[in-house]
Amino acid sequence: MKNLPPGVRAVRNESGIEIQPLYTADDVEASGGLAMLGRPGEYPFTRGIHPLMYRKQPFTMRQYTGFGNAADTNRRFKFLIANGQTGLNVAFDLSTQCGFDSDDPMAEGEVGRVGMAVDTLRDFEIAFDGIDLDKITVSLTINGSAAILIAMYLAMAEKRGFNVKTLRGTAQNDILKEFVGRGTWIYPVEPSIRLVGDTIEYCAEHAPKYSPVSVCGYHIRESGATPTQEMAWGFCIARAYADEVIKRGVPVDEFAGRLSYNFNIFGNIFEQVAKFRAGRSLWAKIMKEEYHAQQPGSMWLRMIAGGGGGGLTLEQPENNIVRGAYYALLAALSGAQTMALCCYDEAYTIPSEYAQRISLRTMQLLVEEMGLAETVDPLGGSYYVETLTNQMRAEMERIIAETDAAGGIVRLIADGTIQSRVSAQAYRMARSIESGAFPKVGVNRYRSDEEATRPVELHPYDGEAAQAQIAALARTRRERDGTAVERTLARVEADAKSGANLMPAIVEAVKAYATVGEITQRLVGVFGRYREPVRFDHREEQAA
């Protein structure tokens, strides 16, 4: 730590690392040197997982979208594809995410509100009608009911004639982070991990090109974690899933190459770039040294970035267009494989077509006009970036070791420790923004009374569309083979009790047009529902 001149204040980034006014080669050497740098496409992949990165293939542009029913969402999908989008990222409504059918009393008022409503395989058939799944890969942002939605996607693709063995796509399916962040859990922790393991094991055999898990540090960060905690805890979660699959006898190189990540991007430019450079080399080291992976692809940190909803503001929302451009720049400089850029209106509503087109054009500008695809790791070699990369990696390793010593990520999530910690940190950040200690342009800096009173355009809730979804569900129930449905649901329940991999039974059930709610209820009957621990930590309160 260097002595600062009188009157110059100390500055720390969100990860707690002190930032010096000037960096030299001595700082790089003192932080660990260039031992973990390497070349792009070579271990430890600090500079990127491919030798040419975007020079060979630009990042996939995959805007997050979904609302109303399957027909509404299909129209938006086709709008985005017509405007140059190269992948789809599907939002599901809360009813679907929590395992309730649209006609369940628990779903009242939520059907199609913040994502697409899905009840049966028929909804997937409508949502992806006319979309070439060999050319447009699909990411399913779903967690608690992920096994059912993955089964629907694979069944839909097979029914349309696509080869499931070569089908590419991703499911978020990271249930552990749901206990920390978003909260769309259904079952207790242990059976939830079992279901994640079932999907990984099943896809390794039946859909080897499909990525059944996207470990989502994004929502841990949004919930209050620092950038280094986001990465470190994300790696701890990925290790928990890997351990679950390996204990079943599946070799690491048969599934690790299809694990992927979803990370957050808002914040200090250099901290974010260093975060991802450090994370790539650390994940490669974990897979090589801890799991003894042999294939380079098993060591890759494949990631989607570009989202940073926590950085957006309701106040002066047009500023979010500028923020989004910086997020896109950050993701590109960080070496993301896929980008899902937040829209300027996403702080307060479902993005409009207009807003999504601006975000899509922002990503296209980076590739077509700004030169971001021309060279690999353009910030590599900066004394500042290389020093910060080493420091961030060391901090991530410290957090992982601390987590392991305290009993491991699964235990700390199950007892509410991680949740308590990130909640306290979120509280402290909110207070810092309130007081102005943490600058936020348009919120606690450069406010405008006129802007504060200006109305914003909200996406209206469509009650008629919700009723149409419920009517369609009733029609499907009348038309399907009730005997086949009951037989397949009985198998789901039996396999849940026996400990068998549940995916074959769930695939059979969705092909019979069993509903999300019906399958979920059979599993709840065996596993029960999760009850969130309420933990009050006086130490966290005092720190806040």
Q: What are phi and psi of 278, to 5 degrees?
A: -65, -40
Strands 303-305 and 338-339: parallel
Provide, for the chain, the percentages of residues in helix, strand and coil under a 3-state DSSP scheme, each rounded to the nearest 5. Answer: 50, 5, 40
**How is the beta sheet containing 87-91 ordered, strand by strand?**
64-65, 87-91, 137-141, 169-171, 210-211
To which residue do tokens 């992920």 refer?
Answer: 146
Residue 105: exposure state from Cβ atoms within 10 A (0-12, 13-18, ≥19): exposed
Strand-pair partners of 304: 262, 338
Please tell me the distance from the alpha carbon of residue 511 to that of residue 54, in angstroms, as a whole number. Answer: 39
Q: Is residue 240 within a helix (H) or strand (E), and if so which, with residue range?
A: helix 227-246
CA separation, residue 2 to residues 20, 327, 418 (Å): 7, 31, 33
What contacts 24+ positions apart, CB below 8 Å, involve 286-291? 286/235, 286/239, 287/252, 287/256, 288/43, 288/44, 290/239, 291/242, 291/246, 291/252, 291/256
To which residue do tokens 């601006």 refer?
Answer: 358
Residue 169, Ramachandran bin (φ over 0: left; ψ between -120 and 50: alpha; else beta):
left
User: Is-contact 258 250, C-beta < 8 A?
Assistant: no
**Cβ partners under 8 Å of residue 367, min gap 6:** 54, 58, 59, 373
Q: What are phi and psi of 216, to 5 degrees?
A: -115, 80
pLDDT at 5: 79
Strand-pair partners of 157: none
**Token output for 84:** 């140059």
pLDDT at 544: 45
Q: Taking the model in full, what pTM does it have?
A: 0.95
**Cβ partners under 8 Å of residue 75, min gap 6:** none
Three-state DSSP at 337 gives coil
pLDDT at 94: 96
**Token output for 309:** 């909803």
Please tell me the distance from the alpha carbon of residue 284 to that of residue 295, in angstroms, as a whole number. Answer: 11
pLDDT at 6: 81
Please tell me the distance from the alpha carbon of residue 409 to that of residue 235, in angstroms, as a whole number. Answer: 10
Q: Is residue 90 within a helix (H) or strand (E), and if so which, with residue range?
A: strand 87-91
pLDDT at 456: 79
Number of Cα atoms under 13 Å in the Cβ half of residue 212 = 31
pLDDT at 455: 77
Q: For the chain of 544 residues, list the mean pLDDT of each consecutive stretch of 10.
A: 76 94 96 96 98 95 94 96 96 97 97 96 98 97 97 98 97 96 94 98 97 96 96 98 97 97 94 98 98 98 89 92 95 95 92 95 95 94 98 98 98 94 94 94 86 75 92 98 98 98 98 98 97 64 48
Position 388, amino acid: L
Q: Report DSSP letters for 31-60, one per residue.
A: TTTTTTT--TTSTT-TT-SSSSGGGTSPPE
Please tell me the distance from the alpha carbon of residue 326 to that of residue 268, in angstroms, as a whole number. Answer: 10
User: Is-contact 316 332, C-beta < 8 A?
Assistant: no
**Token output for 96:** 């679907």
Peptide bond connecting 5 to the previous residue in cis, omega within 30 degrees of 0: no
Nearest Cα residue to 190 out of 229, 139, 153, 243: 243
Instruction: State the fold for domain 53-453.
Output: TIM Barrel (3.20.20)
Q: What are phi and psi of 211, to 5 degrees?
A: -100, 105
In terms of DSSP H, where are the helices of 247-312? 269-285
Residue 444: exposure state from Cβ atoms within 10 A (0-12, 13-18, ≥19): middle
**Token output for 164:** 């499931």
User: Is-contact 260 214, C-beta < 8 A?
Assistant: yes
Torsion sign, CA atoms 102, 103, 107, 113: positive
pLDDT at 7: 79
Please tell me the distance from the alpha carbon of residue 395 to that of residue 413, in angstroms, as a whole number. Answer: 20
Nearest Cα residue to 62 out of 341, 330, 371: 341
